């Protein structure tokens, strides 16, 4: 694997060794990759079917067991040191005041340690399901250098990193599916976000070169392997692909945008109306509980904005099903076309995105060798992702670097030229080294 490099591992082990006063050989490292979602946008929270894979960039958390209940954490990206104890009972953060449950070093203002909420959330998730921890950690966390991780599920990668570290230090054996639930608890119950389980599922279940499929209603999952054309010498070998990440420079969601939680509420309202119209009032108001035939029969009862949300859900489910077949057959062009259609539906039907992201998406569609593109993440900030022919990856990246600044010169000027467009490879699942 190309990430993490040995130099990256050696650096983080050296830092933790100095923090803890222990040998570098005692330092364990959690590797928690970022994810992309080629197909299955904005439907995980409604129990839809999704696809995902990880990339060779992400979060590294070096740590050693502290020898007592103390947790002490530092970050490469943020100031301050977060401290708390694993035997302290935690409460959901969204019902208490900011910073209340985090103990910080007196030399560090509490607001500087707000980044520690995911670590405390990991403790809360483990405690809430009956785990009693006795061993804290001394740790140092960092993300891939120079990379704006907006839209790449960095929050899920961070939450999973802390879960794996605390579990490792306390010798807890936890399955990937259990950790998917624990990270959902961090996001939904502790932080009060209304997202689904796509991000953590991708990070915990992916395997290099495979497309991860998940049914978010049943939690059924499987790995879709690409075909091995080399067994058939008469067949044309599958074209290789790279993953192109193109960053917008937009780091904060626009205040005029209603945001993520309101879109979830609209989907649930659409489901409620469709279920009531069909006489299925006993079912929970999620679109996964609405049969496609029911949607077609009663969609006229939906007001326009709810109709668009429902149309995105049902059309995206269909794109995922077709995309799984295309991936398994090695039809990257077909897969890419579905990916681009997903991006268009996110704009037209789900109505996420903003002008810079939409322009960046359109630039990617014109780039040489690109099979398909869409927003990465919610589409309110961050980046776009594309699958590109390996042979054209460098040319496509150059094209985007030249064209996007013509449309958004101010935002583009805020980007690091070296990391404004990245050529990435598929990654593996989260793990402890």
* 171 vs 416, residue with greater confidence: 171
Supply φ then ψ for residue 187, to 5 degrees: -75, -50
pLDDT digits (tens, 9 = 90+) for 157-180: 999 999 999 999 999 999 999 999
Rounded to whole angstroms, how far apart are CA atoms 187 and 157? Answer: 12
Q: Which CATH number fits domain 6-90+113-223: 2.60.40.1260, 3.40.50.720, 3.30.230.10, 3.30.750.24?
A: 3.30.230.10
Residue 98 has pLDDT above 60, yes or no: no
pLDDT digits (tens, 9 = 90+) for 177-205: 999 999 999 998 898 877 778 889 899 99
Q: Which residues are catalytic?
A: 199
Tokens of 350: 């789900």
Task: Give me the residue spans of the domains in the chain.
Answer: 6-90+113-223, 237-425
Map residue 265 onto helix, strand or coil.
helix
Instruction: Give Cα 249 to chain centroid, integer Å.
Output: 18
Rounded to whole angstroms, how far apart are CA atoms 194 and 181? Answer: 14
User: Of 375, 374, 384, 369, whose CA–CA distance to 333 is shortest?
Assistant: 369
Task: Spell out the long-range contacts of 8-11 with Cβ–Cβ below 8 A and sequence spacing 24 or more.
Answer: 8/60, 9/60, 9/433
Residue 238 has pLDDT above 80, yes or no: no
Res. 23 pLDDT band, cuts 50 70 90: very high
How many Cα atoms occupy the beta-carbon half-sphere of 135 within 13 Å?
A: 16
Residue the block writes with tokens 């897969």 = 335
Residue the block writes with tokens 């899920």 = 156
Residue 43 has pLDDT above 90, yes or no: yes
User: Of 385, 37, 416, whose CA–CA distance to 202 is shortest?
Assistant: 37
Q: Does domain 237-425 have CATH number 3.30.70.890?
A: yes
Res. 312 pLDDT band, cuts 50 70 90: very high
Q: What is the pLDDT of residue 227?
A: 77
Pick from 107-111, 153-157, 266-270 the range whose average pLDDT is largest. 266-270
Map residue 260 onto helix, strand or coil.
helix
Q: What is the pLDDT of residue 230?
A: 31
pLDDT digits (tens, 9 = 90+) for 141-156: 999 876 665 556 688 9
Instruction: Give Cα 61 to chain centroid, integer Å.
Output: 17
Residue 374 has pLDDT above 80, yes or no: yes
Q: pTM, whole model, 2 decimals?
A: 0.85
Residue 103 has pLDDT above 80, yes or no: no
Residue 112 has pLDDT above 60, yes or no: no
Res. 1 pLDDT band, cuts 50 70 90: low
Q: What is the pLDDT of residue 94?
A: 60
pLDDT digits (tens, 9 = 90+) for 196-233: 788 898 999 999 889 999 999 998 999 999 876 433 43
């Amino acid at each position: 694997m190309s990430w993490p490099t040995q130099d990256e591992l050696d650096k983080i082990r050296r830092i933790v060794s100095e923090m803890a006063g222990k040998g570098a050989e005692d330092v364990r490292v959690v590797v928690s990759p970022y994810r992309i979602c080629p197909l299955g946008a904005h439907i995980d929270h409604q129990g839809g079917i999704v696809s995902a894979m990880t990339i060779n960039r992400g979060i590294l958390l070096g740590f050693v067991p502290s020898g007592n209940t103390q947790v002490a954490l530092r970050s490469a990206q943020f100031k301050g040191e977060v401290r708390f104890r694993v035997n302290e009972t935690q409460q959901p953060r969204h019902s208490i005041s900011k910073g209340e449950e985090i103990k910080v070093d007196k030399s560090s203002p509490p607001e500087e340690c707000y980044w520690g909420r995911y670590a405390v959330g990991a403790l809360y998730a483990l405690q809430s399901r009956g785990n009693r921890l006795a061993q804290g950690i001394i740790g140092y966390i960092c993300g891939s250098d120079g990379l704006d991780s907006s839209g790449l599920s960095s929050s899920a990668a961070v939450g999973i990193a802390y879960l794996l570290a605390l579990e490792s230090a306390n010798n807890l054996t936890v399955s990937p599916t259990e950790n998917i639930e624990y990270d959902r608890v961090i996001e939904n119950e502790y932080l009060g976000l209304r997202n689904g389980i796509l991000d953590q599922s991708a990070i915990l279940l992916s395997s290099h070169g495979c497309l991860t499929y998940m049914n978010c209603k049943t939690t059924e999952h499987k790995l879709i392997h690409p075909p091995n054309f080399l067994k058939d010498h008469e067949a044309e070998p599958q074209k290789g692909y790279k993953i192109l990440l193109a960053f917008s420079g937009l780091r904060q969601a626009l205040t005029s945008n209603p945001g993520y939680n309101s879109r979830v509420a609209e989907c649930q309202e659409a489901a409620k109306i469709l279920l009531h119209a069909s006489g299925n009032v006993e079912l929970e108001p999620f679109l996964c509980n609405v049969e496609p035939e029911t949607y077609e029969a009663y969609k006229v009862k939906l007001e326009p904005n709810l109709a668009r949300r429902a149309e995105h859900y049902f059309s995206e489910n269909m794109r995922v099903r077709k995309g799984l077949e295309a991936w398994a057959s090695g039809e990257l062009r077909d897969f890419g076309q579905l990916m681009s259609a997903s991006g268009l539906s996110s704009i037209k039907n789900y109505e996420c995105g903003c002008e810079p992201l939409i322009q960046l998406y359109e630039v990617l569609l014109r780039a040489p060798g690109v099979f398909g593109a869409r927003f990465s993440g919610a589409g309110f900030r961050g980046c776009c992702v594309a699958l590109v022919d390996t042979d054209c990856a460098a040319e496509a990246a150059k094209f985007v670097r030249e064209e996007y600044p013509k449309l958004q010169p101010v935002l583009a000027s805020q980007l690091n030229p070296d990391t404004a467009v990245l050529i990435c490879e598929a990654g593996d699942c989260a793990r402890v080294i």
